[in-house]
């Protein structure tokens, strides 16, 4: 495979097809040994990629050099201290690599690492998210790589972990960001994995999830707005996606719906508050309190000394109404939990396990917004 020199810079062929056009084998246009080598090179280092919001070929945000280094050496200095590392990564693990941008040190990337610890968690982040709830996906704590945690998905514990409420297990090395996100991109929202727990579920922007303000790329990146909690609306499939691993917590099959015993053994997921779908989903629900937004459970802040918290999340009936409060709204996983983690036990959005006086004022608030007991 020949390399061209232009303006003093080496230029490799852009693709194996270019090798054919320039004569990759001994005869021009014939697939010889060099062409086969090129095919191997591109197949190994450039797996199939898709058009997501970031880490995507379509908008030039999937840059190999952001995450990989060929020789771990540039201008006489190591690229990654302690390297070289497996898979030509610029960090010792997938998690460390992801967090090297998403820990607040890269202003163009959403910060998902708070300044607190597992035993003293907080929601202090470098990215200035405008919502009381901060970013939509939530955040880990600063000691995510050194301490077992109960306030977020556990990225530290080595060994096989089993998802609560399910049978899905992590690899022997523990949980990684790659268990939920495809690192080389895909057409789904936030590059979410297509088959969580082996279950095929699609979560697509514009169909299952909406954004009021779209993600803007550098040099005008807008993580504080695009990834903000209040910027995202939800329509469907989040429960099914989470349920790929947390199987028993999803859907109606495990909630105890019955025409003779209209009570639940688990909290309903993807259930309309007005009871229209599925049947009995409105048991003990005060839909008038929910739509009013000013009754029991509602407030302006978190741990502010006043009972009540800002409205929790819901799924709208359609894309156009994903952010519209109505009796047809559905409760789903993100009504109570953050995906990455939060300040509270079990990734919860409020202090349901209260320890301080201010937390005790709010420990039932998220429940009261729907139930008003």
On whether residue 264 sits in a domain, the answer given is: no
The whole-angstrom separation of Cα 118 and Cα 113 is: 12
Residue 17 lies in a domain: yes
Q: What are 186's two structure tokens?
A: 């895909």
Question: Per the domain annotation, does 147 fall within a domain?
Answer: no
pLDDT tens column, 111-142: 999 999 999 999 999 999 999 999 999 999 99
16 falls within a domain: yes
pLDDT at position 262: 56
Report H helices in the chain: 16-21, 33-45, 64-67, 94-102, 223-226, 238-243, 287-292, 333-336, 357-362, 365-371
- Could you list the residue range(s) of the whole structural domain that residue 3 is in? 1-46
Q: Is position 215 within any domain?
A: no
Place of tokens 């699609």: 202
Residue 315 lies in a domain: no
> Does residue 341 carry a pLDDT above 70?
yes
* Residue range 176-195, pLDDT digits in tens: 999 999 999 888 999 999 88
For residue 355, pLDDT over 90 is answered with yes
Distances (CA, A) of 166 to 157, 242, 337: 18, 10, 17
41 within domain boundaries: yes
Nearest Cα residue to 35 out of 1, 80, 6, 78: 1
- Tell me if 242 is assigned to some domain: no
Per-position DSSP letters for 326-351, written without gaps between them: -TT-EE-HHHHB-SSB-SSGGGBSS-
Region 157-178 average pLDDT: 91
Least confident span in 56-65, 82-91, 99-108, 245-254: 245-254
The domain total for the chain is 1
Pick left, alpha or beta for residue 249 (phi over 0 → left; psi -120 to 50 → alpha; otherwise beta): alpha
Q: What integer pLDDT is reported at residue 33 of this predicted model?
A: 54
Q: What is the average per-residue pLDDT within 70-79?
A: 90
Q: What average pLDDT does the segment 18-40 reach?
A: 45
Looking at 46-157, list the stretches that DSSP marks H as alpha helix, in order from N- to C-terminal side: 64-67, 94-102
Helix ranges (DSSP H) in 31-187 = 33-45, 64-67, 94-102
Sign of the Cα torsion 151, 154, 155, 156 reads: positive
Output the six-digit token pair for 366: 């998220």
């Amino acid at each position: 495979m020949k390399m061209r020199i232009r303006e003093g810079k080496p230029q490799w062929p852009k693709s194996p097809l270019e090798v054919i056009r320039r004569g990759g084998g001994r005869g021009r246009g014939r697939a010889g040994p060099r062409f086969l080598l090129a095919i191997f090179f591109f197949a190994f280092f450039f797996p199939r990629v898709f058009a997501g919001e970031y880490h995507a070929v379509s908008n030039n945000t999937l840059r190999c050099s952001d995450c990989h280094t060929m020789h771990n050496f540039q201008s006489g200095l190591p690229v990654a201290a302690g390297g070289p590392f497996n898979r030509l990564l610029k960090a010792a693990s997938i998690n460390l690599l992801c967090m090297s941008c998403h820990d607040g040190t890269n202003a163009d990337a959403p910060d998902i690492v708070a300044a607190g610890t597992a035993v003293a968690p907080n929601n202090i982040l470098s990215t200035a998210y405008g919502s009381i709830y901060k970013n939509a996906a939530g955040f880990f704590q600063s000691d995510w790589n050194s301490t077992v945690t109960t306030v977020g998905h556990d990225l530290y514990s080595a060994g096989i972990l089993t998802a609560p409420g399910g049978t899905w297990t992590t690899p022997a090395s523990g949980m990684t960001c790659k268990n939920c996100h495809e690192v080389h991109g895909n057409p789904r929202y936030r590059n979410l994995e297509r088959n969580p727990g082996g279950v095929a579920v699609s979560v697509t922007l514009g169909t299952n999830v909406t954004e009021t303000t779209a993600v803007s790329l550098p040099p005008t990146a807008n993580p504080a707005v695009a990834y903000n909690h209040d910027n995202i609306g939800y329509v469907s499939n989040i429960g099914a996606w989470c349920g790929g691993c947390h199987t028993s917590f999803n859907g109606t099959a495990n909630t105890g719906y019955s025409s003779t015993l209209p009570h639940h053994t688990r909290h309903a997921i993807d259930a309309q508050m007005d009871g229209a779908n599925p049947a009995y989903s409105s048991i003990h629900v005060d839909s008038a309190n929910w739509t009013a937004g000013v009754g029991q459970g509602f407030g302006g802040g978190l741990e502010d000394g006043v009972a009540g918290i800002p409205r929790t999340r819901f799924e709208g009936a359609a894309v156009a109404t994903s952010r519209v409060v109505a009796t047809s709204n559905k409760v789903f996983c993100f009504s109570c939990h953050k995906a990455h983690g939060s300040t509270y036990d079990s990734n919860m959005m409020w202090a349901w396990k209260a320890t301080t006086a201010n937390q005790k004022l709010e420990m039932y608030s998220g429940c009261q917004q729907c139930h008003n007991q």
